[in-house]
Amino acid sequence: MELWNRAMDVIEEHLEQDEIDMRQVAAAALTSEYQLRRVFSVLAGMPLSEYIRRRRMTVAARAVRAGQESVQDIAVRFGYNSADAFARAFRGVHGVGPEQARRPEAILRSQPRLSFHLTVQGRTDMKYRIVEKPAFRIVGRRTRARIIFEGGNSELDQFVLALPDSDWERIEELSDQEPAGALSVWYDADGTGGAEGTEAEFYLGAATNQPAPPGYDSLEIGAHTWAAFTASGPFPESLEKLWRSVGGEWLPANPYRLVPVPQLVRADYHDDEGTHADVELWLAVEPTD
């Protein structure tokens, strides 16, 4: 956790800049930029870019309210080319423009500086195994949707419910390796790190070496080392809790880091309502040494 707090320090030191070098931030945490963005989103509940935007406008609001500089000078200091561009960004966070923010009755939003602390968990052992897998493909049906870390996802619910029985049967037939059965797979084609609120391709399909049947979508995945985690409980809460445990406990305690490869999720439901399941979460990793 100390390393992650160092990364937050680097962000604080560079808030008054047009761009923050994410490679430098990731280096402070001794991790990859991909893992930094992915784990931050899970632990903080917001994309790293959104946190930086809120923090920058929180600090800028202090200068605006102080009234000692013109809005144009503040805009330049925080890396904006014009007062109009700064005003749009300011309004996006606070709901009012810089001039209105100087009025005594103005209500502004504040994003506190985040810090990470180690808490003693360990009441329940995390179950995982390391698996070496050769290249394979995901074959099934594809859509595009927004990533949501907590709660249901209505876009995906509609997509899944609309699949005919023939698709589910074909996916089961295609499955010829671990993780077995129908898998949920997010493919971050835009390289955003799988941040919450961003759009990504979602596949419901099987891990297989078979070619895609006509009309089906296919996603190639190379050979990697995988960390496979298991949990059981109410769904999707059990998956959300598992992800937080991986990011906040397992990764800091083990000599692995995430690599930018689609995550694989398998849920084996216990009831007809689909509210309780055994969950498998497969994440591609590489040694940190």
Q: 39-75 pLDDT, tens per residue?
A: 888 778 788 888 888 999 999 998 898 888 999 999 9
What are the residue ranges spanned by the domains of the chain? 2-101, 127-287
Q: 238-284 pLDDT, tens per residue?
A: 888 888 888 878 887 788 889 989 999 998 876 666 578 889 999 99
Q: 120-177 pLDDT, tens per residue?
A: 454 446 788 999 999 999 999 999 887 776 666 778 888 989 999 999 999 999 999 9
Q: 78-89 pLDDT, tens per residue?
A: 888 889 999 999
What is the CATH number that goes with domain 127-287?
3.20.80.10
For 212-236, what is the mean pLDDT?
93
**CATH architecture assignment, domain 2-101:** Orthogonal Bundle (1.10)
Structure tokens at 254: 């083990």
Q: 166-189 pLDDT, tens per residue?
A: 999 999 999 999 999 999 998 875
- Torsion of Cα atoms, 222 then 36 then 120 then 44, to 10°: -120
* Cα-Cα-Cα-Cα dihedral sign, residues 122, 124, 125, 128: negative
